[in-house]
Amino acid sequence: MSRKWASRTIIVYLIFIAAIYWYLFYGADTEIPAALKGTSADPAVFLNGREQEISSEYSKIRNFLFFLSTPYEWVFYMLILLAGLPRLFERWAQSSSKKTVVQNGIFLFWISASTLLATMPLNYIGYRLSRFYHISTQTVPSWMKDELIGFWVNFGLMWIVLTVLYWLIRKYEKKWWLYAWLLSVPFTLFLMFIQPVIIDPLYNDFYPLKDKQLEKQILQLAAKADIPAEHVYEVNMSEKTNSMNAYVNGIGSNSRIVLWDTTLEKLSDDEILFIMAHEMGHYVEKHLYFGIAGYLSLSLAGLWLASRIMNYFIRRWGRTFKISSVSSLASFPLFLLITSVLLFISSPLANYVARYEEMRADTYAIKMTEDKEAGIHSFQELTKSGLSEVNPPFLVKLFRYTHPTMLERIQMLENWEEKN
């Protein structure tokens, strides 16, 4: 039975990958509509022929890697369950210590290390791809350092999650999902509070914006929007990437306005002010809090579904998956598999809401700055630096895009004066 499950899983995965490959490289239509040819949304206007060709190549390969890697993780979880590795790791953990917390840590380490080794080839291919197309400027040692930091940060957080989750499963057999969700609310808020000041600095150096004249202009915009900001932060990203970004993150007293140094190097002050007005639009319209509420709502539904699916799978195929009960640590990869699939299925809805909020932030930026040209040029430069597709395939937009396409964003700015 295990061999049949394994072979069918691999066959389905290969069929899926073949279908996605055909869709991305041959079936998808990414042409600019005829009505927009020659407008500022047309890549031919702001990219030369070679840049357009490179952008198309890079986008197709990057999108293919995304659709390759997400189900690859599911296949990995399926295969290790069928091979009985989680049960073996659980026995090792139980024989190594009598303390449950220590057992959880040992078990999680072996699961995390196995996952890291299994996914490392695809992660490295993604890194080399970005290096080849001059998106990434990061050295191999620096990339490996970030991978290791990410591993230990995730391990620490997942150790807490695993310990609490399986304590709840053993104590509340039927309602563990509800109590797990209730505890996830303060945990999520705590992580968002500490991320700007503890987690983010593990990866990059943050410091006050060096250009004090520009900082003054940004803070004037913030004051105009009633945003209580005292500083703007700059982050050293040029050592890792040529792409650009800016964001506002964190909650409460730890919230930060952050600009990548690449953005400062490649955009004019007017264009940066437009980008910052966009980020302030998120703050003014309270998108962060709507996002938290949406995430917590989806996680409640997700945990309930995960509990039902786990019970069904273990009741029907527990022997095949080498899982004796839901309360066994060996069921954790099954939990990860189910939640990963549920997140993927729900991503089109989450992305749709995110795109709506991004368009609202663009609208806020153009109202605040009244500088259409700065907005258009900043979007063109963002496209150029990140080799983004202006008009991506439908499935790519559905599952990957948390922002409107550059075609939609530039077109909105182009038509702003006519509509208003």
pLDDT in tens, 307-344: 999 999 999 988 888 898 999 999 999 999 999 999 99
* pLDDT score of 229: 67
Q: What is the DSSP string of 162-189?
A: HHHHHHHHHH-TTTHHHHHHHHHHHHHH
* pLDDT score of 253: 66
Percent of the chain with pLDDT over 90: 55
Least confident residue range of 157-166, 186-195, 267-276: 186-195
In the annotation, is 57 catalytic? no
Among residues 73, 234, 271, 279, the one annotated as catalytic is: 279
The average confidence (pLDDT) of the chain is 89
Q: Residue 410 above 70 pLDDT?
A: yes
H or E element at residue 247: strand 246-249
Residue 236 banded pLDDT, cuts 50, 70, 90: confident
In the numeric block, the tokens 């042409």 are attached to 31
Distance of CA 147 to the CA centre of its chain: 15
Q: Residue 231 above 80 pLDDT?
A: no
Rounded Cα distance between 127 and 221, Å, is 37
In the numeric block, the tokens 């290969």 are attached to 14
H or E element at residue 113: helix 100-132
3-class SS at 259?
A: strand
Q: What is the pTM (predicted TM-score) of this model?
A: 0.90
Distance of CA 412 to the CA centre of its chain: 25
Q: In this predicted model, what pLDDT tens digit does every residue of 69-96 receive, in sequence order?
A: 999 999 999 999 999 999 999 999 999 9
274 near 375, Cβ under 8 Å? Answer: yes
Q: Residue 146 above 70 pLDDT?
A: yes
410 near 372, Cβ under 8 Å? Answer: no
Q: Which two tokens stand for residue 317?
A: 């195929």
Q: In this predicted model, what pLDDT tens digit does every residue of 345-365 receive, in sequence order?
A: 999 999 999 999 999 999 999
